[in-house]
Chains A and B, each alone.
Chain A
Amino acid sequence: MADRNLAFRALADPTRRELFERLGGGGKAVGELADELPVSRPAVSQHLKVLKEAGLVIDRAEGTRRVYRIDPAGLGAIRAWLDRFWDSALAAFKAELEGSAPPREPPARGSAREAKPSTARRRAAKPKSAT
């Protein structure tokens, strides 16, 4: 079984994080990435190899190019993200109980208890800028 921390460790490196982030906008070849960043082609290749081994990206030959993209089926990224997500959520929970929570911009309106019947319209979740 893959090391569960592999994805997170792979993304701990700022350059790899930058590469990974750039692939979030779509597939790119090594050369394109090297052109966009102050990193040599061999270094980009090496970083992409680490990301690939961590299950974060996949590559595919397209003509003479090898194009890398984020692996949509690979769960390394989402797991690494959730790992940090719950860290910060539980830290906030603990801070609340310690009474040392940083001042909250608008204090939770009303009680957080059982939701009152609301006239608010319900809607499905939507990304911020759906097209």
Chain B
Amino acid sequence: MTQSIKPAPVRKSVEVPATQARAFDVFTAGFGRWWPRSHTIGKGALANAIVEPRVGGRWYGVDDDGAETEWGDVLVWEPPARVVLAWRIGTDWQYHRDLHTEVEVTFTPVDATTTRVVLEHRLLENMGAAAEGARATFDSPTGWGAILQNFVDLIGRR
């Protein structure tokens, strides 16, 4: 009865004015400097976001009151070329230790001062399985509602 929907990965590519090493460094070590403050699942205002620089390292947000919220962890750590993060935030907007989706980011030099950054968020079908399990939360305004609000905020600028 479960629909076998297998969504295509979300794939993004951007060229940045930086060397491969700097792009990797800013993306990972500098994660909290550029990550949009609106992109959080914490209770409070996001003050920082951190990717610990090693396989198994945590990926988490820090609210302005110091509370930490898990987002996922580091699956692959290959500076300065590649990092793979486990994104364990489900459609109910909560952290699930066992939810496995992957965000792979690769850094490829284009020329001396430009790097191509390709991001792929894949295994989204695993969110479907989690959504099935979390059906009870579906009518709750804090589940889908939060996602919808964020979605509307993002695309509502017209």
Contact = CB atoms under 8 A, between A and B. Distances in A.
Given A82-B10, A112-B50, A124 B94 contact: yes
A90 B66 contact: no
Nearest to A26: B139
Interface residues of B, number: 79
B8 to A, nearest CB: 5
Interface of B: 2-3, 5, 7-8, 10, 12, 14, 16-18, 22-23, 26-27, 29-37, 39, 41-43, 47-50, 52-53, 58, 60, 62, 64, 66-71, 89, 91-95, 117, 119, 121, 124-125, 127-128, 131-132, 134-135, 138-148, 150-152, 154-156, 158
B144 A24 contact: yes
Interface in A37-94: 55, 69-70, 72-94
A78 B125 CA distance: 10
B57 to A, nearest CB: 8
Contact of A82 (B17, B18, B121): B121
Interface of A: 1-2, 4, 11-12, 14, 17, 20-21, 24-27, 55, 69-70, 72-98, 101, 104-106, 108-110, 112-115, 118-131
Taking each of B5, B17, B132, B135, which has the highest tally of chain A beta carbons within 10 Å of its own beta carbon? B5
A21 B152 contact: yes
